């Protein structure tokens, strides 16, 4: 599928899109801040308890503009389109494309799993319940990586589908997600998690539309009308129902349009896509300079490491605070007043994690990725399944499930790696993962 060169497109010549980089930086900032203020950990009679800190109707409204996960997948679709086009132009195979892509997405998980196991063992000495809760919280964002691996696997086919018919794949994916919603709201809930695939691949497909410049001939007025129509449709979906009024799980709204996603997320993605097109047109030819350029570049290239390690960073800070109970106030006002200092402490820990994992990435980059299609495809499926299991069922170093998950992810990394050592050759592993 990757071997045939494609016709010239916008993405064939586009080396960098600063709008997409800004989207990555802003999106990861929102995710980090929201996660760091979402859960309030307190001690009650010596027992550790976590509870949702966000609630109230104003927060319900804010969850809509703060829901940035569609933009992550849109940026991923943009990056994957550029990579697929590059491999096509060079006449490379599907195995060439997938081996390197999946290996770079999988090896960071080995370090993270090792951390989760160590955290679980360390906290178990303090509280078995705290250990289990911490492991679950640290693993909670990993659904993104599992789904993104699937998106990377299907990207060559998704790009080809776009080049045959730009609207075919989005319409099919949207229809599938809506069918799942009908079953879910009709009481057949066990289909609901299929929308982890349909909704997020729909958002990924919007990234392909953006890379191809599909809305290029469309005027600003029409694009603005698309965004307004999306908002109108969301209002119709939510106000009379049955779609949920929030885009994040909150203390007073535990069920949202995020987990698992509903078609409302796809409509939100269309609105954000239209807004992105309007912004990008106004930034055409613009480049940041000086410190702004360094911040945007660093944030964009390190976005995956930041995403994987921002929850562990807060877990470390919280774990230290368990030894000093006064740092875990039960009073909500005091807790919120202390958040800025907690976030600074977590940011320092996160910076250390990113530096360390950068060295791990550089070490892994010394080994060539496998290019044989069958083992690479097997490794890709194992990686997605293992990471999904870690997110869905948790990881305990004392259980067979945890050992099996660790084994699966290690096997996936080995299947996508050869023994041949290659020089880095100015390789930036973080940049490669984000595209």
pLDDT beyond 90 at 139:
no
421 belongs to a structural domain: yes
The pLDDT score that the predictor gives to residue 400 is 58
> Most confidently modeled of 6-15, 126-135, 377-386, 419-428?
377-386
Which residues does 315 contact at the CB level (< 8 Å), separation at least 6? Answer: 119, 134, 137, 138
Confidence of residue 226 (pLDDT cuts 50, 70, 90): very high
Indicate the pLDDT class of residue 126, thresholds 50, 70 and 90: low
Question: What local confidence, expressed as pLDDT, does residue 6 receive?
Answer: 42
Q: Is residue 5 part of a domain?
A: no
Which pLDDT belongs to residue 112?
A: 84
What value does the mean pLDDT take over residues 86-100? Answer: 89
Q: How many domains does the chain have?
A: 1
Residue 1 in any domain: the answer is no
pLDDT, residue 425, reads 46
Is the pLDDT at 420 greater than 70? The verdict is no
Mean local confidence (pLDDT), 6-17? 51
In this structure, the chain runs to a length of 435
Quick one: average pLDDT of 334-355?
A: 93
pLDDT at 204 over 90: yes
- Does some domain include residue 68? yes
Average pLDDT, stretch 339-343? 92
Average pLDDT over residues 40-68: 85
What mean pLDDT is predicted for residues 322-328?
79
Mean pLDDT lowest among 33-47, 147-161, 396-410: 396-410
**Residue 259: partners with Cβ closer than 8 Å, 6 or more residues away:** 249
pLDDT digits (tens, 9 = 90+) for 268-295: 999 999 999 999 999 888 888 889 999 9
172 vs 8, higher pLDDT: 172
Calculate mean pLDDT across residues 179-187.
93
| Alpha carbon distance 64, 239 (integer Å) | 14
Give the mean model confidence (pLDDT) for residues 311-332.
83
**Residue 247 and residue 258: Cα distance in Å, rounded?**
6
Q: What's the pLDDT at 234?
A: 96
Q: Is residue 317 part of a domain?
A: yes
Model confidence at 335: pLDDT above 50: yes
The pLDDT of residue 362:
85
Task: State the residue range of the domain holding 144.
Answer: 10-434
**Mean pLDDT computed over every residue of the chain:** 85
Q: Is residue 4 part of a domain?
A: no
8 A C-beta contact, residue 253 and residue 59: no
């Amino acid at each position: 599928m990757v071997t045939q060169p494609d016709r010239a497109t916008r993405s064939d010549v586009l080396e960098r899109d600063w709008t997409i980089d800004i989207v990555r930086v802003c999106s990861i900032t929102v995710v980090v801040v929201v996660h760091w203020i979402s859960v309030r950990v307190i001690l009650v009679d010596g027992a550790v308890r976590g509870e949702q800190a966000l609630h109230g109707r104003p927060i319900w409204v804010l969850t809509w503009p703060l829901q940035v996960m569609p933009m992550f997948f849109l940026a991923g679709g943009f990056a994957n389109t550029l990579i697929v086009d590059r491999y096509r132009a060079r006449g490379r195979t599907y195995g060439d494309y997938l081996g390197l892509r999946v290996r770079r997405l999988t090896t960071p998980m080995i370090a993270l799993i090792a951390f989760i196991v160590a955290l679980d063992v360390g906290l178990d000495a303090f509280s078995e319940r705290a250990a289990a809760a911490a492991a679950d919280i640290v693993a909670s964002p990993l659904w993104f990586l599992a789904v993104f691996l699937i998106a990377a696997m299907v990207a060559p086919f998704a790009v080809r589908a776009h080049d045959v018919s730009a609207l075919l794949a989005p319409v099919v994916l949207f229809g599938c997600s809506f069918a799942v919603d009908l079953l879910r709201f009709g009481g057949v809930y066990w289909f609901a998690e299929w929308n982890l695939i349909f909704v997020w691949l729909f958002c990924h497909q919007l990234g392909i539309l953006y890379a191809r410049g599909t809305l290029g001939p469309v005027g600003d007025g029409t694009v603005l009308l698309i965004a307004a129509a999306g908002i109108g449709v969301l209002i119709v979906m939510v106000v009379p129902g049955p779609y949920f009024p929030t885009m994040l799980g909150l203390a007073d709204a535990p069920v949202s349009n995020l987990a698992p996603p509903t078609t409302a997320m796809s409509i939100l993605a269309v609105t954000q896509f239209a807004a992105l097109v309007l912004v990008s047109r106004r930034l055409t030819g613009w480049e940041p300079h000086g410190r702004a350029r360094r911040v945007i570049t660093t944030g964009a290239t390190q976005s995956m490491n930041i995403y994987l390690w921002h929850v562990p960073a807060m877990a470390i800070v919280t774990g230290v605070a368990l030894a000093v109970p006064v740092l875990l106030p039960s009073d909500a006002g005091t807790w919120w007043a202390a958040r800025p200092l907690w976030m600074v402490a977590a940011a320092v820990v996160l910076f250390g994690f990113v530096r360390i994992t950068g060295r791990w990435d550089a070490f892994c980059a010394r080994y060539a990725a496998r290019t044989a299609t069958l083992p690479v495809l097997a490794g890709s499926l194992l990686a997605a399944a293992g990471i999904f299991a870690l997110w869905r069922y948790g990881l305990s170093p004392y259980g067979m499930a945890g050992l099996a998950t660790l084994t699966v992810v290690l096997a996936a990394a080995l299947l996508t790696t050869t023994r041949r050592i290659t020089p880095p050759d100015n390789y930036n592993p973080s940049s490669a993962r984000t595209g």
